[in-house]
Structure 1
Amino acid sequence: MTGHIETRLAELGVTLPDAPAPAANYVPYVVVGDMVYVSGQISNADGELIKGRVGDDLSTAEGAAAAKTCAISLLAQCKAACDGDLDRLVKVVKLVGFVNSTADFIEQPQVINGASDFMVEALGDKGRHARSAVSAASLPLGVAVEIEAIFQIK
């Protein structure tokens, strides 16, 4: 049976992928009490990495679309941490977003809004969170965006 959150995602045309496997010597998430700490998820759409530097190869809007893909992967990891029951999600506590951008690019918050806006659209008040949005000179595999998250679960 599909839960409330996955029903809402389906209404938005989003199907969560399988939680991505870690690419190195770390785990995709750690559960401590009622908190889930999810490792950084990189911009990836349908198995294709979204690469490039925002402010050079990509526009702010394209960066925001890349950030949304990170948010979808973050929810997939949260679902895995909740043994497949995403309705155990209580709250998105914090997102930390990294934007592969040029030295003079100043719209990192608007890029990470792609993830933040999606979390609120999909989860309502549960999706409202604290956040950081910072620039990076480079990100793994040349991706445009990487975002990590902290979730509260029950």
Structure 2
Amino acid sequence: MTMTITQTGNRATYDKLAAMGIELDPVGVPGAAFEMAAQSGNLVFVSGHIARKDGAPWRGKLGESVDTDEGRAAARAAALDLVATLHGFLGDLGKVKRIVKVMSLVSSSTTYTDQHVVTNGASEFLLEVFGEAGRHARSAFGVAQLPLGACVEVEMIIEVQ
């Protein structure tokens, strides 16, 4: 099932997604006491999204069962889900003024040190979709474990018009 994309503002973001062959999936419902996105003033905070592959958590640990290239793909997948959630929340990605901040958590072995390279998968995707408005500040952390054994989790803060 795919999400119907309707928008009233700038079509550029939707045109880029279509050119990339991307259809936004429906927004998931949180399984706990939180919101998938919350707005305060002109900032939207999108909750962390774990990477998914074929509808299931993309499991593993960087430096053990997942290599850096696969980790980048997982971060990209998480960023795509973030964009779908943002679309569901705003109703129109044309309202995005700028991606302000991205934070990535990478499930890592104690010797793995390329979390920043893994996070490039999310950052590059956001630049590809939003152009210069997708350029952001970011943090990339190595962690011992993520929910459901996921290898990557990404969250973001967005400025809207």
Indicate the residue corresponding to 1:69 in structure 2.
77
Indicate the residue corresponding to 2:45 in structure 1.
37
Structure 1 residue 121 corresponds to structure 2 residue 142: no
Aligned length: 153
Give the gaps of 5 or more residues in structure 1: none
Letter of the 2:109 counterpart: T
For residues 46 and 7 of structure 1, what CA distance do their matches in structure 2 show? 24
Answer whether contact 1:31 1:81 (CA < 8 A) is retained: no
Higher deviation after alignment, 95-104 or 37-46:
37-46
For residues 45 and 94 of structure 2, what CA distance do their matches in structure 1 show? 17
Give the alignment's TM-score, normalised by structure 2: 0.91
For residues 29 and 86 of structure 1, what CA distance do their matches in structure 2 show? 14
Structure 1 residue 92 corresponds to structure 2 residue 99: yes
Q: CA deviation at 1:101?
A: 0.8
Q: CA deviation at 1:62?
A: 0.3
Indicate the residue corresponding to 1:143 in structure 2.
150
Answer whether contact 1:55 1:102 (CA < 8 A) is retained: yes
Q: Could you report, residue by residue, the CA deviation over 1:122-148 in whole angstroms, capped at 9, with x for unpaired residues?
A: 111010000000001000000010011
Q: Percent identity?
A: 37
For residues 122 and 43 of structure 1, what CA distance do their matches in structure 2 show? 18
CA RMSD of aligned residues (A): 1.1
Q: CA deviation at 1:113?
A: 0.3
Answer whether contact 1:36 1:81 (CA < 8 A) is retained: no
For residues 78 and 29 of structure 2, what CA distance do their matches in structure 1 show? 14
Letter of the 2:70 counterpart: E
Indicate the residue corresponding to 1:20 in structure 2.
28
Q: CA deviation at 1:19?
A: 1.6
Indicate the residue corresponding to 2:140 in structure 1.
133
Q: CA deviation at 1:36?
A: 0.3
Structure 2 counterpart SS, 1:147:
strand
Q: CA deviation at 1:23?
A: 2.2
Structure 1 segments (4+ residues) deviating >3 Å? none
Q: CA deviation at 1:4?
A: 2.2
Answer whether contact 1:20 1:73 (CA < 8 A) is retained: no
Structure 1 counterpart SS, 2:148:
helix
Higher deviation after alignment, 105-114 or 26-35:
26-35
Higher deviation after alignment, 114-123 or 5-14:
5-14
